[in-house]
Amino acid sequence: MSHEVGMPGSPRSLLWLAALVYTAFVIYGSLVPLEFRAMPWNEAVAKFGSMPFLKLGIGSRADWMANLLLFIPLTYLWMGALTAGGSRLWGGLATLVLVPVAALLSLGIEFTQLFFPQRTVSQNDILAEALGGLIGVLAWWATGSRLVDWLLSWQHTHARAALAERLAWIYLAGVLVYNILPLDLTISAIEIFHKWREGKLNLIPFGRLPDDAAYALYEVATDALIWSPLALLWRLDGTRSAWRVWGMTMATAVGLEAMQLFVYSRISDVTDLFTAAAGAALGVWLGGRLAVREAPGGQALPWSASLPLVMAIGWMALLLFVFWYPFDFRTDGAFLRERLHNFLGRVPFEAYYYGTEFRAATELLHKVLFFIPLGALLAWFVWRLRWTWRGYATFLSLLLIAFAALIVVVGRLAQPEKNPDSMDIVLQWLGGILGFVAIRVFFSRKMLPRHSGGTSFLHNENRHAHRRRRTSSRGEGE
């Protein structure tokens, strides 16, 4: 690999930052809720030496997989940080160091957990984490060079269509990972039969909706909206027809639903295919409208300039419904003071410790993903303003996102059944910023004209870049 690594903003710098942040996340997440209990050193060593090897059933398989997956990105990112742009010899030396270091880190974490009684210590965790560390290193050898090339290519992506295509595949990867969590995988016919007996296989459309009409509507709407961004981004590529994009999205939904059959704790429901069809249709329609609106020489649609702001306000109302439902507020002072005291006294992410890894991942994604459209809509509104107003509007938009996150958390504090975490405001604000930045970057890209013959925008962009390099070479020769 011969990439330049010294320049600012290079993939190696990004990998260093990601590796450091992820390492801190692994260590912190392994010790939450940070309730330290002192223990004599000799007693701790004796307990660690007699650490059990647990027999894992289907219910514990997800925990083992979570520990394995935890260490795969850890060593993968550190391999990138240490070896991106380096020689194969240096990569080999890094491999010989990282694998045992990952195992030692796992041992250190498990030993430290003895001083935090709420954590469970077992040989299974060490085995899973050590194996995950090895897989991460091997994965870097298999895909690291392509990842660096892919990261470098982002600096040269100037067409909106090419950016939309990249974002679509990133989003699809996220949907794929989420739909197979918590990874309690099985291929046993007996376990699949038990899954059916437990009511986790539903072949009757809309047969398992909640009795509460409002909550049922929320379930259907969220299941549908999951597929809208994917269809929208594929439609913005500009080379695919509406029916083709809808078919691609539906084929993906069918494939993921089939995969969930082999995830023991997930419910495989044929209703999801109907909601995916509706969400895909919405995404196709929006993508087509945006493509027409932004195409060179395209007719401006008769939409008000304030439409994105109106939609953002509507989305904030939806956020209040989603996060405050069923609106069982209590306003007595003693209750509110106790809730506020507990809220401020928790360490960050403590609320996510209680429950399964899947529940924690779901709650984190809900906090971040629901605020992305708010940031995106505000960025769209800012983009349509005059240049002189964009700076002020950007600042006010970021304040509005933070205010919306604060209001959501304050409302949840007043409800006994809600359990907001002290980091929820930050997570929601970051989700809004992510949506804001993504749309700003998208609109800053050029909208290249369409080409016949099914030629992709990415191909055209690379062809134009090749021409520019050839022209500049001639100029230097002259």
What's the pLDDT band for 94 if we cut at 50, 70, 90?
Answer: very high
User: DSSP H helical segments within 154-238, as ranges?
Assistant: 160-180, 189-197, 213-225, 228-236
Residue 368 CA to residue 362 CA, distance in Å, equals: 10
In a domain? residue 438? yes
Same domain membership, residue 146 and residue 174: no
What's the pLDDT band for 357 if we cut at 50, 70, 90?
Answer: low
Same domain membership, residue 185 and residue 147: no
Structure tokens at 68: 């394995």
Mean pLDDT, rounded, for 46-70: 74
289-303 per-position pLDDT tens digit: 776 655 544 444 445
Which of 18-22, 219-223, 263-267, 387-391 has the weakest average pLDDT?
A: 263-267
Mean pLDDT, rounded, for 363-387: 88
Range of the domain at 23: 11-156
The predicted pLDDT at position 11 comes to 82
Q: Which of 397, 340, 339, 410 is nearest to 371 (CA)?
A: 397
Mean pLDDT, rounded, for 138-166: 81
pTM of the entire structure? 0.71
The predicted pLDDT at position 292 comes to 63
Q: Is the pLDDT of residue 471 over 60?
A: no
Q: Which of 334, 179, 320 is nearest to 262 (CA)?
A: 179
In a domain? residue 69? yes
Same domain membership, residue 256 and residue 184: yes
Same domain membership, residue 254 and residue 359: no
Residue where one domain finishes, among candidates 252, 280, 302: 302
Q: Is the pLDDT of residue 262 over 50?
A: yes
Of the chain, the percentage scoring pLDDT greater than 70 comes to 83
125-148 per-position pLDDT tens digit: 889 899 999 999 999 999 988 888
Q: Is the pLDDT of residue 447 over 70?
A: no
The predicted pLDDT at position 59 comes to 56
- Mean pLDDT score of the chain, rounded to an integer? 81
Mean pLDDT, rounded, for 249-257: 93
Q: Which residue has the higher pLDDT, 96 or 422?
A: 96
Q: Which residue has the higher pLDDT, 238 or 22?
A: 22
Q: Which residue has the higher pLDDT, 444 or 76?
A: 76
The predicted pLDDT at position 446 comes to 59
In a domain? residue 365? yes
Q: Under a CB-based contact definition with an 8 Å cutoff, are residues 348 and 278 in contact? A: no
Residue where one domain finishes, among candidates 95, 125, 156: 156
Residue 320 CA to residue 312 CA, distance in Å, equals: 13
Q: Which residue type does 259 have?
A: M
Same domain membership, residue 198 and residue 150: no
The predicted pLDDT at position 2 comes to 43
Residue 166 CA to residue 178 CA, distance in Å, equals: 19
